[in-house]
C-alpha cells in the first residue's frame, strides 16, 4: 500500500464539496439507484445499498430523496441509468479515473472529454489507467481526543479483518478488501467514531504535483466533479502539504 494519505486529500476538498451540497444529493441519488437496481431495495440484504444510504445520511440527505431513488430502481419511478468509467491523464501526468452514472452516454462522454481537453488533460482509452488503481474499502478514524495508541489500533483493525493501517498525527487510515469492508466497518463502529467509511479506488503509486501544476489540476478535478453525471473522481495525485 502506498504511503500516500488519502485523508490529506479528503480534508483539502471538504469545504469545496460542502458548497456543492445540491449536486452531492443528486449524485447520491444516482448511487442509491444503481445499488438498489443491481442488488435489490433491501439494505439489510444489499451491503452496497446500505453503504450508500449511510453516506447519504451522513450528508444529511432528506429521507424522501433516498426513498425516491429506491422507488425508481424498483420501477415506481422513471429513468434508466448505467455506470460508465472514463480514464485519462491530467497535468503533471496524474492518472485520473472518472465514475459516472448516466442515462445518456453521448452527453456524459462529451462533457468529460471537454473538461479534460480544456484543462490540460487527455481522455484515454478504456484500461489506459485503471490498472494503476486498486478497489479498496477505506475507513478513517481521527485521533483528536482518542486515547488509543497505534499498537492497540493495529490490533483492533487486524482483528476486525482489515488489510492495512496507516498512521499519522491526525488520523488512523484503514484499508480493507472490498468484500470485507461492511464487516470491518461495522466491527470498528462498535468501538470508534468513523470520520469516513467508503469504497474507493486507491492508486498503487502516487505522482507528486509540482507547484506550478496544482491550480490547473485542481481546476480539472473541480470541473469533472461539477458534472451532473459524475459520481466519483479518483486520481494518483500527491498534492503539496500546503
DSSP-assigned states of every residue in 94-118: -EEEEEEEES-HHHHHHHHHHHHHH
Q: What is the pLDDT of residue 15?
A: 52
> Could you tell me which CATH number the domain at 6-73 has?
1.10.10.200
Q: What is the pLDDT of residue 95?
A: 98
**Model confidence at 146: pLDDT above 60:** yes
Region 170-197 average pLDDT: 92
For the chain, give every domain's residue range.
6-73, 82-131+204-238, 134-203
Q: How confident is the model at residue 242 (pLDDT cuts 50, 70, 90)?
A: low
Region 62-72 average pLDDT: 88
The strand pair at 207-208 and 164-167 is best described as unpaired
Region 209-213 average pLDDT: 95
Give the C-alpha separation, 46 to 193, whole Å. Answer: 23
More confident residue, 7 or 149: 149
Give the C-alpha separation, 59 to 219, whole Å. Answer: 24
Q: Which fold has domain 82-131+204-238?
A: Alpha-Beta Plaits (3.30.70)
Half-sphere exposure of 33 (CA within 13 A, CB side): 26
For residues 49 and 35, is the Cβ–Cβ distance under 8 A?
Answer: yes
Contacts 24+ apart (CB under 8 A), 74-78: 74/36, 74/41
Closest CA to 203 of 128, 134, 151, 142: 134
Per CATH, 82-131+204-238 and 134-203 having the same topology is answered yes
For residues 53 and 31, is the Cβ–Cβ distance under 8 A?
Answer: no
- Alpha helices by DSSP H, listed for the chain, are 6-18, 21-39, 47-58, 63-73, 105-118, 150-160, 181-189, 211-226
Q: What is the pLDDT of residue 21?
A: 62
CA angle 204, 209, 210 (to 5 degrees): 150
Q: What is the pLDDT of residue 138?
A: 94
Give the C-alpha separation, 219 to 228, whole Å. Answer: 16
Residues 72, 74, 76, 77, Cα dihedral to 10° = 20
Closest CA to 33 of 47, 20, 52: 52
Give the C-alpha separation, 197 to 96, whole Å. Answer: 21
**Model confidence at 180: pLDDT above 80:** yes
**Whole-Å CA distances, 32 to 26, 38, 168:** 10, 10, 33
Is the CATH number of domain 134-203 3.30.70.980? yes
C-alpha dihedral sign at 74, 79, 83, 89: negative
Least confident of 45-59, 94-108, 119-133, 159-173: 45-59
For residues 146 and 112, is the Cβ–Cβ distance under 8 A?
Answer: no
Enter the C-alpha cell of residue 216.
490547473
Q: Residue 189 carries which DSSP code?
A: H
**Residue recorded with cell 491523464:** 89
Q: What is the pLDDT of residue 199?
A: 87
Region 192-200 average pLDDT: 88
Amino acid at each position: 500500500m502506498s504511503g500516500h494519505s488519502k485523508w490529506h486529500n479528503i480534508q483539502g476538498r471538504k469545504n469545496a464539496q460542502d458548497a456543492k451540497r445540491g449536486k452531492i444529493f443528486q449524485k447520491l441519488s444516482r448511487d442509491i439507484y444503481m445499488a438498489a437496481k443491481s442488488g435489490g431495495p433491501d439494505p439489510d440484504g444489499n451491503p452496497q445499498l446500505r453503504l450508500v444510504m449511510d453516506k447519504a445520511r451522513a450528508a444529511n440527505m432528506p429521507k424522501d430523496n433516498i426513498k425516491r431513488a429506491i422507488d425508481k430502481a424498483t420501477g415506481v419511478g422513471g429513468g434508466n441509468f448505467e455506470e460508465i468509467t472514463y480514464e485519462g491523464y491530467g497535468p503533471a501526468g496524474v492518472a485520473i479515473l472518472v465514475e459516472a452514472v448516466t442515462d445518456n452516454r453521448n452527453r456524459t462522454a462529451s462533457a468529460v472529454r471537454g473538461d479534460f481537453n480544456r484543462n490540460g488533460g487527455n481522455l484515454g482509452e478504456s484500461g489506459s489507467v485503471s490498472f494503476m488503481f486498486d478497489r479498496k474499502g477505506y475507513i478513517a478514524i481521527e485521533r483528536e481526543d482518542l486515547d488509543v495508541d497505534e499498537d492497540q489500533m493495529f490490533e483492533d483493525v487486524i482483528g476486525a479483518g482489515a488489510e492495512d493501517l496507516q498512521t499519522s498525527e491526525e488520523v488512523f487510515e484503514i484499508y480493507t478488501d472490498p468484500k470485507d469492508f461492511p464487516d470491518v466497518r461495522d466491527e470498528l463502529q462498535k468501538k470508534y467514531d468513523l470520520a469516513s467509511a467508503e469504497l474507493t479506488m486507491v492508486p498503487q503509486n502516487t505522482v507528486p504535483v509540482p507547484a506550478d501544476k496544482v491550480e490547473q489540476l485542481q481546476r480539472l478535478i473541480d470541473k469533472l466533479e461539477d458534472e451532473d453525471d459524475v459520481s466519483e473522481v479518483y486520481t494518483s495525485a500527491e498534492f503539496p502539504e500546503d
